[in-house]
Amino acid sequence: MHAVVVVESCFGNTSKVAEAIVEGLRSTGAEVETFAAGSAPHRLSADLVLVGAPTHSMGLPTSATRSQAVQKGGTAVASGVREWIDHVETLDGRVVAFATTTGGFLAGSASKAIVKALKRRRIPAERGTDFTVKGTPGPVADGELDRAREWARTLHA
């Protein structure tokens, strides 16, 4: 199986989750490539394409929420998953979204927003799962990286 992971991260937590997902997929024998959303190809063909982002203002990061993240000590991200979806040309394969959130009833979810944004581009995608971080800068909550590895193994059909 050939899998591609496209990820955006301001504080590094979603990247850590993506790394755990890559480890889980590789443990099943999958070949995996990872791209930061800002440098991901606009034409992708793979058995599995995983798209992940941090939840900002209950959805996908925007340039405004990324600036707020920088003010809180995050890394500047010029272009992320939102922009990648806007410019994607072809996306062949099973597409599954994941996200990080601080959890709770009003957290919202970037994975939900990813599925919606892809749908607008007529690209079918499934909502995968969300992983919890302990507050805006993180870290990833206890056990979540193990859960990400396990979840990734279930994706190897």
Ligand X SMILES: Cc1cc2nc3c(=O)[nH]c(=O)nc-3n(C[C@H](O)[C@H](O)[C@H](O)COP(=O)(O)O)c2cc1C
Which residue from 40, 44, 65, 125 is in contact with ligand X, where contact means CB under 6 A?
65
Angstrom distance (rounded) from CA 21 to CA 17: 6
Q: Name the one range near ligand X by CB under 6 A: 27-35, 54-62, 115-123, 143-151.
A: 54-62
Helices (H) and strands (E) in the chain, counts: 5, 5
Which residue from 4, 6, 9, 83 is in contact with ligand X, where contact means CB under 6 A?
9
| Two tokens, residue 95 | 């597409």
57 binds ligand X (CB under 6 A): yes
123 binds ligand X (CB under 6 A): no
Which residue from 11, 84, 98, 151 is in contact with ligand X, where contact means CB under 6 A?
11
Q: For residue 59, what is the enclosing H or E element?
A: none
20 binds ligand X (CB under 6 A): no
| Two tokens, residue 11 | 């504080």
Distances, alpha carbon 46 to alpha carbons 54, 77, 136, 157, in Å: 23, 25, 32, 13
Let me know the angle formed at the C-alpha of 137 by 131 and 138, rounded to the nearest 5 degrees.
Answer: 40
State the minimum distance, in angstroms, from the CB of residue 93 to ligand X. 24
State the minimum distance, in angstroms, from the CB of residue 86 to ligand X. 20
| Two tokens, residue 91 | 């996306």
| Two tokens, residue 25 | 């997929």
63 binds ligand X (CB under 6 A): no
Q: What is the size of the binding site for ligand X (CB under 6 A)?
A: 24
80 binds ligand X (CB under 6 A): no
Angstrom distance (rounded) from CA 91 to CA 118: 10
Residues in contact with ligand X by CB under 6 A are: 9-14, 54-58, 65, 68-69, 72, 74, 100-102, 107-108, 133, 136, 138
